[in-house]
Amino acid sequence: MQIQSHLGSTIAMAFDECVENPATYEYAKKSCERTVRWLKRCKAEMERLNSLPETINKNQLLFGINQGCTFEDLRIENMKEIAELDLDGYAIGGLAVGEPKEDMYRVISAVEPYMPKDKIRYLMGVGTPGNIIEGVSRGVDLFDCVMPSRNARHGHLNTWNGIININNKKYERDSQPIDPECDCPTCRNFSRSYIRHLFKSKEMLAMRLCVMHNLYFYNTLMEKIREALDNDEFNGFKEKYVDLLDKRI
């Protein structure tokens, strides 16, 4: 907690144990109990730190993390316990670590009814555009993941028609932008063939341009999700894009 306080971040995460999956029920139960004990200590320490005159960000928010592997009863009981602590936000952790996506969605759906309605909900380490859309449909507000930047560095690029691998030979003489529907700086100024050439030449610029594109795509995705929610059109948005955006072209 002291390290996070020194960083002065907007949000600090409580210390938790993210157990391996699959784990035994007995171990997962003890891990939940341990995580709750740590959360209480983290909350007390944050209150102490925020009372000090030299603290950088006295308004730092504290999020607790829900654990319990894929056991719905453990997840629900853990969520009930941490909800009583009146934190600034609540995260669902320990998912997207190799379990089938159906298990992840099942756990989110089981936990959501017990998450405070007036607090931020955060799904940790997720994920693909389809995962994000499914998460939003289950009441999640925040996400984080290395996927857009990590995948971009390998030439795997998000588009509004699915995922392309810019290293494929079919893009060798393709003068189109990565995504004709995208207006990011990369798509406005560079062709697929040029970016593929940069990768084949082992130019660092290839990775930089592709990271810019994927991050822009994810930001635009979140803008479109918010717009669809505001206009009561989210169900139609989900139906159109939830599978399409994760499809490999």
Query: For residues 236 and 29, what is the distance between their CA atoms, to the nearest angstrom?
Result: 39
Query: For residues 62 and 122, what is the distance between their CA atoms, to the nearest angstrom?
Result: 12
pLDDT at 57: 97
pLDDT at 15: 98
214, two tokens: 């994927």
Domain holding 56, by residue range, is 2-145
Cα-based distances in Å from 1 to 51, 54, 89, 91, 205: 14, 15, 16, 17, 37
Token pair 């669902």 in the structure block, residue: 92
pLDDT at 189: 98
pLDDT at 245: 98
Which of 126, 145, 164 corresponds to the end of one domain? 145
pLDDT at 241: 98
The domain that contains 74 carries what CATH number?
A: 3.20.20.105
Which of 87, 93, 76, 220 minimizes the C-alpha distance to 144? 93
Write phi, then psi, for 165 (nearest 5 degrees).
Answer: -110, 105
41 with 164, same domain: the answer is: no
120 with 169, same domain: the answer is: no
Q: What is the pLDDT of residues 197-226, one digit of tens each?
A: 999 999 999 999 999 999 999 999 999 999
Burial class (CB in 10 A: 0-12, 13-18, 19+), 230: exposed
Task: Identify the segments of the chain with pLDDT beneath 50.
Answer: none
Which of 209, 164, 215, 208 minimizes the C-alpha distance to 187? 209
Which of 145, 172, 198 corresponds to the end of one domain? 145
89 with 173, same domain: the answer is: no
pLDDT at 244: 98
Query: For residues 94 and 249, what is the distance between their CA atoms, to the nearest angstrom?
Result: 30
109 with 17, same domain: the answer is: yes
Helix, strand, coil shares of the chain as percentages rounded to 5?
Answer: 50, 10, 35
pLDDT at 21: 86
92 with 111, same domain: the answer is: yes
Which of 145, 167, 195 corresponds to the end of one domain? 145
Q: How many domains does the chain have?
A: 2
13 with 68, same domain: the answer is: yes
Token pair 């390998």 in the structure block, residue: 154
pTM, full prediction: 0.95
pLDDT at 98: 86
140 with 188, same domain: the answer is: no
